[in-house]
Amino acid sequence: MSRQSLPGRSLKTAREQLEWLSIISLTDLFSKNMDRAGRDPYDKYQWTLPVEFECSMMLFMCQLCFHRLRPHARLIFMFCLATYCMKYLYWQYFLFLIGMIVCDLQFEFNSTGAGKAGSSTNAVASTYTPGTPLGAVVALVSRICRSMAGYQTAIGMTVFIACLYVMSTPEAIRGAVGTPGYITMIQMVPQHHQKNGKIDYFWVPIGASLAVLTVDRTPVLQRLFTNRFAQYMGTISYSLYLVHGTVIFSVVRHTVSWTGFSTQLHYGFGLALCAVPLWATLIFCADLATRTLDKWSLSMGRKLYDYLAVRDPKPQAVLPRTN
């Protein structure tokens, strides 16, 4: 585990402990350094918290800017913005923008009836002005979709497997350049990514985005995420994310210390021995945190919003009325 060394003396005050843990930099609302959480000496796996905050603020800004635009114009602007982010190494923003695009496409399909089984894609094409470049593209896509309607499941499964393969691209420091099956893909990474040492952040975001879109358009794949077990894991997923680092290095470290790790056999036996108590402890802690802290914080936030928000505001005149 890569971590900072422990302080040389006992930290007696809460302020000293918080400063050593870099809590101030982690909770800085105006910092643009999305890697600031990686300095946490206890749990570096929470590096995504600033990323989620910054990217969420960016999505709110995009909704404010584009919510009055027509659907096709909004999709074009969002796609161009996502392309810009990927080109200039903002892969975090790219993922969030693609998620918003997938949601917008789902709303568009549902509003036209194209998202229902057995419906015609003509409904989508009819919403765009014929004779325009965009209308011609949509009409072409509609014809292709109609010709492949009978192969939707097979195509979806094939694309999903291909996305899993792309998302399995090894990191550059782990020999991605010379790994069989990925050599050509690494060579296709843009020069801008290679010069800045961001080879790992090109194919994986693209594969993840395409995987989400494929699952959204393939009902068979959706069963993997709509069953009871998957729904339960989704409910406790955020709490599981928060506690998994501490639990893993608490349980695994002690278990491996019993078995030793002088040989690969001892190390592997220690990992296998701690698998059952590790998962039981993880799910228990995550479930407990979800039922107490998570639900309590959401309830308190909702009550505070209802208390502070103005209910049913009446429209007021821009200028005061004079007698």
Question: Do 49 and 194 reside in the same domain of the chain?
Answer: yes
Task: For residue 205, name the pLDDT band (cuts at 50, 70, 90).
Answer: very high
Dihedral sign, Cα of residue 184, residue 190, residue 195, residue 197: negative
What is the pLDDT, as a whole number, of residue 17?
Answer: 67
Question: Do 165 and 277 reside in the same domain of the chain?
Answer: no
Q: Would you say residue 146 lies in a domain? A: yes
Neighbouring residues of 11: CB distance < 8 A, sequence distance ≥ 6: 17, 20
Q: Which of 195, 224, 253 is the last residue of a domain?
A: 224
Q: Would you say residue 157 lies in a domain? A: yes
Backbone angles phi and psi of 120, in degrees to 5: -85, 145
Question: Do 249 and 143 reside in the same domain of the chain?
Answer: no
Q: Which of 183, 207, 224 is the last residue of a domain?
A: 224
Residue bearing the bigger pLDDT, 230 or 137: 230
Residue bearing the bigger pLDDT, 81 or 313: 81
Question: Do 121 and 247 reside in the same domain of the chain?
Answer: no
Q: Which residue has the tokens 């996305």?
A: 163
Question: Do 181 and 273 reside in the same domain of the chain?
Answer: no
Question: Do 174 and 137 reside in the same domain of the chain?
Answer: yes
Rounded mean pLDDT of 206-224?
Answer: 91
Residue bearing the bigger pLDDT, 9 or 94: 94
pTM to 2 decimal places: 0.76
Question: Do 153 and 286 reside in the same domain of the chain?
Answer: no
Report the domain count for the chain.
2
Question: Do 160 and 285 reside in the same domain of the chain?
Answer: no
Q: Would you say residue 320 lies in a domain? A: no
Dihedral sign, Cα of residue 252, residue 253, residue 258, residue 259: positive
Residue 70 confidence (pLDDT) above 90: no
Both tokens assigned to 222: 């959706």
What is the pLDDT, as a whole number, of residue 91?
Answer: 92
pLDDT for 237-258, tens place per residue? 999 988 888 888 777 777 777 7
Q: Which of 174, 208, 224 is the last residue of a domain?
A: 224
Q: Would you say residue 213 lies in a domain? A: yes
pLDDT for 267-309, tens place per residue? 777 777 778 788 888 999 999 999 998 888 889 989 998 888 8
Q: Would you say residue 247 lies in a domain? A: yes
SS (H, E, C) 194-227: HHCCCHHHCHHHHHHHHHHHHHHHCHHHHHHHHC
Given a contact cutoff of 8 angstroms between Cβ atoms, the answer to whether 65 and 57 are in contact is no
What is the pLDDT, as a whole number, of residue 59?
Answer: 92
Question: Do 144 and 259 reside in the same domain of the chain?
Answer: no
What is the pLDDT, as a whole number, of residue 123?
Answer: 47
Q: Would you say residue 1 lies in a domain? A: no
Both tokens assigned to 162: 């291909």
Question: Do 144 and 237 reside in the same domain of the chain?
Answer: no
Residue 136 CA to residue 275 CA, distance in Å, equals 55
Its domain, for residue 216, covers: 14-224
Q: Would you say residue 37 lies in a domain? A: yes
Task: Give the lowest-confidence range in 149-158, 186-195, 249-258.
Answer: 249-258
Residue 5 CA to residue 17 CA, distance in Å, equals 14
What is the pLDDT, as a whole number, of residue 7?
Answer: 46
- Residue 182 has what DSSP assignment? T
Question: Do 39 and 171 reside in the same domain of the chain?
Answer: yes
Q: Would you say residue 5 lies in a domain? A: no
Task: For residue 20, name the pLDDT band (cuts at 50, 70, 90).
Answer: low
Question: Do 158 and 291 reside in the same domain of the chain?
Answer: no
